Structure 1
Amino acid sequence: MAAATPHLRAGTNSVQADPISLGIDIGGTKIEGVAMDGNEHLLACHRIPTREGSQAVHDDTVMLIRHLLDQLGPNQGPVTVGLGIPGRVDANRGMVDDAVNLGIHHMALGPAVAKTTGLPVRVENDVNIAALGAASQTGDTLMTPGATPHSQAARDQARRPATEPGRDGPRALPDHDDHTVAFINLGTGLAAGIISGDRIEHGASGAIGEIGHIPVDAHQFPCKCGQRGCLETVASGSAAQALWPGIAHPLPDLIAQAGQGNQQAQDVLDIIGHGIALAVQIVALTIDPAVIILGGGMSKTGQPLLDLVTEHLNRSAACSHFIASLSLPDRLRLAPADLPIAAIGAALAGRMAADSRPSDFIGKETAS
């Protein structure tokens, strides 16, 4: 992608370069980075394989930052960096704990990258930055129930006002600035990110949105957290693999097999569909967001996933006027599969680091 065109100040010959926001999504298999300008246009993208260990994650992150800056060329404006990573994250201090899939027990990721690059850095949990990236998208990119992705009808439907007479489709994102958006990450685990007024909600201990470990499922399957019946055991990618083993992409196969009359597949699909719908209800009843976006690996199933969750939400609504009154299917969206929303969210989160200096981090902690 081409670099941003610098803006000329009126009445002068000087050039004022656009600010640059770099976003790095550090995942278990790949590290993906983007560069954006002040108008949130993607200027560059790049990804590399993930290597485990604190030093490797630091080195690869720095290498990716430098690669993105090299792609942009000279005349860059001020640069900020946002990093998203699994595990428990102290966003204010840039600390990461227990990112087990990356081989990280404790690491001062923000201070280390800030010291090496000389750039302001902010670190956030990976689900939170995916939530921020997804919430930044419009009705043009978020798929709605019953709509074909990227079709003109879907775009027209998403643009209509929520109060339009005769409207039979879901709402677009509200126009006001203080709306709340929830992002449910249906990945290896299950968690939610909450965006309120375009900012990430963290809670008192950073555990906000950890809905996967609410023990409410009657099957009482054991969870890695030590409990039984956690929502994650029936509403996640790992749950689908455990309940329908031996298939690389179990959810699409389950949907296909159930459609062909396979009763065992239908029984498993009911467990998963009910679990995800329950996750939606929990988020809706505790946060009451205007929009609930489904993302993560399972979301790549596409429209059939929305149809499955909508079916189970409608089952609950059929026996509860209260649930029916919430119009939960109307709030559902599917995160776009063709955009690096986590890296975009990291870039947006990184702008919060603009007022800090690398020296604010340096010396406070060291990687371990």
Structure 2
Amino acid sequence: MAEEKIIGIDLGGTTVKFAILTTQGEIQQKWSIQTNILDEGSHIVPDIVESINHRLNLYNMQAEDFIGIGMGTPGSVDRKKGTVIGAYNLNWKTTQPVKEQIEKGTGIPFTLDNDANVAALGERWKGAGDNEPDVVFITLGTGVGGGIVMEGDLLHGAAGCAGEIGHITVDPDGFECTCGKKGCLETIVSATGIVRVARKLSEEYAGASELKQLLDSGEEVTSKDVFELAEEEDQLAMMVVDNICYYLGLACGNIGNLLNPSSLILGGGVSAAGEFLRSKVVAYFKQFTFPQVTESTRIKLAQLGNDAGIIGAASLALKLEE
């Protein structure tokens, strides 16, 4: 019999990404379908089942060839029941019995977790985490999320909220967050937060600056623009980047002092700023950590990009054997 395989699914608001992997985490096949969120998202799970079955038929594979399927999903996940609720970008307003439907439709064991958690698993297993047991992943995108792997296991917490790094308070008098409190990390270092910081600092800035000109004339400005202008030594842009790296370094310092992971990995769209971002965050991280943590916890850039989710999701399936 051929070596058993695993399937990873990364369920997003616009696309569903799939991969078939070996148990060592090597991707053998990848494909994707559009996420159909019409009719309260009722087509999503049937589409997933149909896509998997079509792929197995196409390549003459059987359900028995697979250990299991793992999936990362937005929303609140009940891992025991295999259900999801509150994934508003999928139009899922009621509890979705995902595990039951996918196992019935494919005949393959199924498990799932939150999308930020599975991205953390992916980076830990095959990316910047070097498969070490203690790794924290921070995703800097439209929002800020994360996942915490300690002693080889994901931390979930009493209500499944462990790893909500975006809601660490870094500035009690800061911007209001969608969660209802003020000064969350997400309000400053997310893609939208960075632009918000730029607008605020621009109001008080009197010097010459291309960034200020763009903001004052009502041009569309992105976090990418801010970083690019900072690299060109635009004075206002450099102030903005220093400001956000201060708060990100502060949050990373607190995480480091609390958990002492071997790797603190920065991923998501904002992390595309690369070493320019990382080196500035490291400088503040050193300021906010005590010596043993400063020396043993490394801040790294994510390596897997969009594959982190499918690789991490697939790794969930390996736990089905245990």
TM-score normalised according to structure 1 size:
0.74
Gapped regions of structure 1 (runs ≥ 5): 1-15, 143-171, 356-368
Gapped regions of structure 2 (runs ≥ 5): 199-214
**1:205–1:55 distance in 2 versus 1, CA, 3 Å:** same
**Distance (whole Å) between structure 1 residues aligned to residue 186 and residue 295 of structure 2:** 21
Alignment of 1:83-102 (within 5 A): 83-102=71-90
The superposition leaves residues 90-123 of structure 1 with CA deviations (integer Å, 9 ceiling, x where unpaired) of 1111111211111112212222212222221101
CA RMSD, 1 decimal: 2.5
1:198 Cα deviation from its structure 2 partner: 2.9
Query: What's the counterpart of residue 334 of structure 1?
Result: 301
Matched, 1:66 2:33: no
Secondary structure of 1:225's counterpart equals coil
**1:92–1:273 distance in 2 versus 1, CA, 3 Å:** same
Query: What's the counterpart of residue 267 of structure 1?
Result: 239
Matched, 1:208 2:162: yes
1:299 Cα deviation from its structure 2 partner: 2.1
**Distance (whole Å) between structure 2 residues aligned to residue 28 and residue 265 of structure 1:** 32
Query: What's the counterpart of residue 40 of structure 1?
Result: 25
Counterpart contact for 1:33–1:343, Cα < 8 Å: yes
The superposition leaves residues 6-25 of structure 1 with CA deviations (integer Å, 9 ceiling, x where unpaired) of xxxxxxxxxx1211100000
Counterpart contact for 1:216–1:229, Cα < 8 Å: yes
**1:237–1:67 distance in 2 versus 1, CA, 3 Å:** farther
**Distance (whole Å) between structure 1 residues aligned to residue 196 and residue 142 of structure 2:** 11
Give 1:94's aligned amino acid: G
1:80 Cα deviation from its structure 2 partner: 0.7
Query: What's the counterpart of residue 192 of structure 2?
Result: 238
Counterpart contact for 1:299–1:334, Cα < 8 Å: yes
**Distance (whole Å) between structure 2 residues aligned to residue 301 and residue 71 of structure 1:** 40
1:330 Cα deviation from its structure 2 partner: 5.5
Counterpart contact for 1:34–1:68, Cα < 8 Å: no
Counterpart contact for 1:33–1:45, Cα < 8 Å: yes
* Structure (1/2) with the larger helix percentage: 2
The structure 1 segments of at least 4 consecutive aligned residues displaced by more than 4 Å after TM superposition are 172-175, 244-248
**Distance (whole Å) between structure 1 residues aligned to residue 296 and residue 269 of structure 2:** 20
Counterpart contact for 1:46–1:68, Cα < 8 Å: no
1:56 Cα deviation from its structure 2 partner: 2.3
Alignment match of 1:132 (pick from 121, 137, 146): 121
Matched, 1:112 2:112: no
Secondary structure of 1:234's counterpart equals helix
Give 1:56's aligned amino acid: H
**Distance (whole Å) between structure 2 residues aligned to residue 292 and residue 67 of structure 1:** 39
**Distance (whole Å) between structure 2 residues aligned to residue 209 and residue 217 of structure 1:** 19
Counterpart contact for 1:291–1:331, Cα < 8 Å: yes
Query: What's the counterpart of residue 187 of structure 1?
Result: 141
**1:240–1:64 distance in 2 versus 1, CA, 3 Å:** farther
Matched, 1:21 2:6: yes
Counterpart contact for 1:54–1:107, Cα < 8 Å: no
Alignment of 1:337-348 (within 5 A): 337-338=304-305, 340-348=307-315
Query: What's the counterpart of residue 209 of structure 2?
Result: none
- Residue correspondences, number: 299
1:41 Cα deviation from its structure 2 partner: 2.0
The superposition leaves residues 116-164 of structure 1 with CA deviations (integer Å, 9 ceiling, x where unpaired) of 2222110100011001110002xxx53xxxxxxxxxxxxxxxxxxxxxx
Query: What's the counterpart of residue 51 of structure 1?
Result: 36
**Distance (whole Å) between structure 2 residues aligned to residue 18 and residue 199 of structure 1:** 25
**1:274–1:85 distance in 2 versus 1, CA, 3 Å:** same
Counterpart contact for 1:44–1:71, Cα < 8 Å: no
1:354 Cα deviation from its structure 2 partner: 4.4
Query: What's the counterpart of residue 82 of structure 1?
Result: 70
Give 1:57's aligned amino acid: I
**Distance (whole Å) between structure 1 residues aligned to residue 27 and residue 118 of structure 2:** 16
Counterpart contact for 1:126–1:342, Cα < 8 Å: yes
Of stretches 346-355 and 111-120 in structure 1, the one that deviates more from structure 2 is 346-355
Counterpart contact for 1:87–1:99, Cα < 8 Å: yes
Counterpart contact for 1:251–1:298, Cα < 8 Å: yes
**Distance (whole Å) between structure 2 residues aligned to residue 47 and residue 300 of structure 1:** 23
Matched, 1:284 2:256: yes
**Distance (whole Å) between structure 2 residues aligned to residue 252 and residue 68 of structure 1:** 38
TM-score normalised according to structure 2 size:
0.83
**Distance (whole Å) between structure 2 residues aligned to residue 225 and residue 354 of structure 1:** 37
Of stretches 305-314 and 345-354 in structure 1, the one that deviates more from structure 2 is 305-314
1:174 Cα deviation from its structure 2 partner: 7.7
Secondary structure of 2:280's counterpart equals helix
